[in-house]
Structures are given as C-alpha cells and as structure tokens.
C-alpha cells in the first residue's frame, strides 16, 4: 500500500542549550500539495525547514519522506540523499 503523504513530521522537537526551538510539531503533506510555514520571528520556521532538509537533527520525533524515515533523534539520512530542495 502506498503512503499518501510525501512528508510526515511526527512529534518533532528541536532543543538547543537553554532553549526549545521547535516543540512537538506534527504535519502531513500529501503528494502534489504545496504547504506554507507562517509565524513570527523566532518561532522555529527555519529550524523546522533545516530538519526537513537534513541540516539539523531533531531532539525527538521523526521525519518521513514518502513513508521512509529519514530523520529521528537516533538516525539521520544525509541531505544529499533526501531529494529535497529548498
């Protein structure tokens, strides 16, 4: 069975020393759809995009592309192997 979601973000959290940048984000983006991240300065938009692109590893949670886990607190697929452009 094919996964209908191109991108799935499950309970992703990103912590930096003394600060939580992204707190328990969940997102599903279906194949063929376009999404937009909106929010005030400092709310974690760029950090979340860095997790999606593979430049930042989440502290917890997982990221799936086409149903395949590419990032979690214990594993991370290299950015050049994700076929994600920003």
Range of the structural domain that residue 71 is part of: 5-81
Whether residue 48 contacts residue 61, with contact meaning beta carbons closer than 8 Å, is answered with: no
Specify the CATH number for the domain of residue 39: 3.40.50.300
Is the residue at 31 inside a domain?
A: yes
User: What is the tens place of the pLDDT at every residue in 26-78?
Assistant: 999 998 888 899 999 999 999 999 999 999 999 999 999 999 999 999 999 99
Is the residue at 86 inside a domain?
A: no
Is the residue at 68 inside a domain?
A: yes
Angstrom distance (rounded) from CA 60 to CA 72: 6
pLDDT tier, 1 (very low <50, low <70, confident <90, very high otherwise): low
Q: Provide the token pair at 77.
A: 């697929």
Phi, psi of 10 (to 5 degrees): -120, 110
User: What's the structural domain count of the chain?
Assistant: 1
Is the residue at 62 inside a domain?
A: yes
pTM for this predicted structure: 0.88
Is the residue at 40 inside a domain?
A: yes
């Amino acid at each position: 069975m094919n996964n209908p979601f191109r991108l799935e973000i499950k309970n992703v959290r990103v912590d930096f020393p003394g600060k939580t940048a992204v707190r328990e984000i969940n997102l599903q983006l279906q194949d063929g759809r376009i999404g937009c991240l909106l929010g005030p300065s400092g709310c974690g938009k760029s950090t979340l995009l860095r997790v999606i692109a593979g430049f930042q590893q989440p502290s917890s949670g997982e990221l799936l592309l086409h149903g395949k886990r590419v990032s979690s607190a214990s594993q991370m697929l290299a950015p050049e192997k994700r076929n994600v452009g920003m």
